[in-house]
């Protein structure tokens, strides 16, 4: 049995792993690379594995860095089924078409403005490709063991990261290969904690925050101070937010501040059709939440959806105090870029970053103190205040990762640390080796490892 790492080995994106049992070949996660251009270019490289040779794909969750390569995989010959939880299937139903639409829109815009080196600029994949990929999805309940290929069974365990997120145990000939997926917090604002997984012969564990601990302060206090400061000087608060997960946590926090009388009575806008649809899906899965259904319903109804591009343009011209949540969380695309162009140059305004900013993204530039970001082929000066909330992350920190790992009844034969920047992955490796004394490997991109 061999495991090949086709992504998430030197970065936090592009999760793709191919498990070859000798009889069957499955891919666990099928994500896009994001961030630095050198990483994004990997999305265009041919896979070293023929997509037609894969018997099945298994998804841990719906975020694009775990699911966004599916349309290309299907277009290039994959004929099998894609197994995932119901929440993941529902979220992929909006995320994959959105990813395709953004790729198509970016290509059209690049061709119109002439800033692409390619003539004509082409999308990575199309809306038709996304639709064909969605027809391959097959939802599976948590805790159900299901055969997905000859000699291969999988089981999903709640991971707490977003709706539908799962850790996956792959059963092959009496061996258990466990993929952590992205693990959530032990005490998240809205999500239940990850379920413990007790047994693994081989383990892949994410390390996004493997080198740090999240701050202990209450995110409500931090958000309250930022909102009051911005609105107090007549500004607009622009929050680049991941449509799935982060937006819903922020809506709940804003709802709580309003309920407690700690937030000025200013309009809140949700300028992301994707986030609007994701919020509806979020509200359908109360069984995965630690907040009650009434609070969930109220929080999801807090913001006014921005339905059209025309409404979005009018928001950019409106200089009255307000709060705008818009995709994407690392400012890599979408309507938030136009808001950054409009509100970024004014020092009365605030740009609030609320989670991990992958190296090479505009969010990472702002988080590092950069005051010039490139958008739509132009350099934009940012004079607005740039603030951050670190403790709204949907990812477990180093301590929470170790808590989950300590839930195993014994040491795996081997543990692979993935899905982290090199310094974060290496820090988690050291924690595991020192505290648990497990054998740990930091896999290399495209390398295969024997699971004997």
Residue 206: give its domain's CATH number: 3.60.15.10
Q: For residue range 320-340, what is the model confidence (pLDDT) as tens digits?
A: 999 999 988 888 877 899 999
Enter the pTM of the model: 0.91
Which regions of 59-206 does DSSP assign to beta strands (E)?
Answer: 81-84, 137-139, 146-149, 152-158, 166-172, 175-179, 202-206
> Into how many domains does the chain fold?
2
The closest alpha carbon to 204, from 404, 435, 452, belongs to 404
Report whether 92 contacts 84 (CB < 8 A). yes
The predicted pLDDT at position 115 comes to 66
**Mean pLDDT across 126-150:** 98
Regarding whether 159 and 24 lie in a shared domain, the answer is: yes
Q: Which helix (H) or strand (E) holds 73?
A: helix 70-75
Indicate the residue among 354, 370, 388 that finishes a domain: 388
Q: Do 194 and 229 have their domain in common?
A: no
User: What integer pLDDT is reported at residue 233 of this predicted model?
Assistant: 97
Give the closest residue to 375 by CA, choosing from 161, 115, 124.
115
Query: Does one domain contain both 330 and 223?
Result: yes
We report the CATH number of the domain holding residue 259 as 3.40.50.10890
Count other C-beta atoms under 10 Å from residue 26's C-beta. Answer: 22
CB contact at 8 A, 128 and 69 = no
* pLDDT digit string, tens, across residues 342-383: 999 999 999 999 977 877 889 999 999 999 999 877 899 999
Domain that holds residue 205: 2-212+394-450
CB 68 within 8 A of CB 96: yes
414 and 300 belong to one structural domain: no
Same domain, 281 and 328: yes
Do both 224 and 204 map to the same domain? no
Q: What is the pLDDT of residues 36-89, one digit of tens each?
A: 889 999 999 999 999 999 999 999 999 999 999 999 999 999 999 999 999 999
Residues 97-129 have pLDDT tens digits of 999 998 898 888 778 877 666 678 889 999 999
User: Which tens digit of pLDDT belongs to each residue from 383-426?
Assistant: 999 999 988 989 999 999 999 999 999 999 999 999 999 999 99
- Please identify, among 388, 411, 429, the residue that sits at the C-terminal boundary of a domain: 388
377 and 289 within one domain: yes
**What order do you get walking across the sheet with 166-172 strand by strand?**
146-149, 152-158, 166-172, 175-179, 202-206, 414-418, 440-441
Question: Stretch 198-217: mean pLDDT, rounded?
Answer: 95
Beta strands 372-375 and 378-381, pairing class: antiparallel
Of 361, 388, 415, which residue constitutes the final position of a domain? 388
pLDDT score of 35: 79
Two tokens at 75? 């277009």
In terms of DSSP H, where are the helices of 268-421? 273-283, 293-300, 309-317, 336-343, 362-367, 398-405
């Amino acid at each position: 049995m061999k495991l090949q790492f086709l992504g998430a080995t030197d970065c936090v994106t592009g999760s793709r792993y191919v498990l070859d049992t000798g009889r069957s070949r499955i891919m666990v996660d099928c994500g896009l690379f994001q961030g630095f251009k050198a990483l994004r270019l990997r999305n265009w490289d041919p896979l070293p594995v023929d997509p037609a040779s894969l018997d099945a794909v298994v998804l841990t969750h719906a975020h694009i860095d775990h699911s966004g390569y599916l349309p290309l995989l299907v277009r290039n010959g994959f004929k099998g089924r894609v197994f995932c939880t119901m929440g993941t299937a529902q979220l992929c139903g909006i995320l994959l078409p959105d990813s395709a639409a953004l790729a198509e829109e970016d290509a059209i815009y690049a061709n119109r403005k002439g800033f692409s080196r390619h003539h004509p600029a082409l999308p990575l994949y199309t809306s038709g490709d996304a639709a064909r990929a969605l027809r391959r999805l097959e939802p599976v309940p948590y805790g159900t063991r299901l055969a997905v290929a000859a000699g291969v069974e999988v089981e999903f365990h709640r991971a707490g990261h977003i709706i539908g997120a799962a850790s996956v145990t792959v059963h092959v000939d009496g061996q258990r290969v466990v993929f952590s997926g992205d693990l959530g917090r032990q005490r998240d604002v809205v999500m239940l904690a990850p379920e413990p997984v007790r047994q693994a012969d081989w383990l892949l564990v994410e390390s996004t925050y493997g080198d740090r601990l999240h701050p202990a302060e209450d995110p409500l206090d931090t958000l309250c101070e930022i909102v009051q400061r911005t609105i107090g000087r007549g500004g607009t608060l622009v929050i680049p937010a991941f449509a799935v997960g982060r937006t819903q946590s922020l809506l709940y926090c804003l709802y709580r501040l309003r309920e407690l009388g700690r937030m000025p009575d200013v309009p809140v806008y949700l300028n992301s059709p994707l986030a609007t649809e994701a919020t509806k899906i979020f509200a359908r899965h109360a069984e995965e939440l630690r907040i009650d259904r009434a609070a969930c319903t109220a929080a999801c109804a807090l913001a006014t959806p921005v339905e059209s591009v025309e409404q979005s343009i009018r928001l950019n011209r409106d200089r009255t105090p307000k709060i705008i949540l818009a995709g994407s969380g690392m400012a890599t695309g979408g309507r938030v870029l136009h808001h950054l162009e409009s509100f970024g140059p004014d020092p009365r305004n605030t740009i609030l970053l609320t989670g991990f900013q992958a190296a090479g993204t505009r969010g990472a530039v702002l988080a590092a103190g950069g005051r010039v970001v490139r958008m739509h082929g132009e350099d934009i000066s940012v004079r607005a205040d740039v603030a951050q909330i670190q403790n709204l992350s949907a990812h477990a920190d180093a301590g929470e990762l170790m808590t989950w790992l300590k839930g195993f009844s014994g040491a795996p034969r081997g543990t692979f640390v993935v899905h982290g920047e090199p310094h974060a992955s290496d820090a988690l490796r050291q924690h595991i080796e020192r505290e648990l004394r497990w054998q740990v490997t930091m896999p290399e991109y495209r390398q295969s490892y024997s699971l004997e």
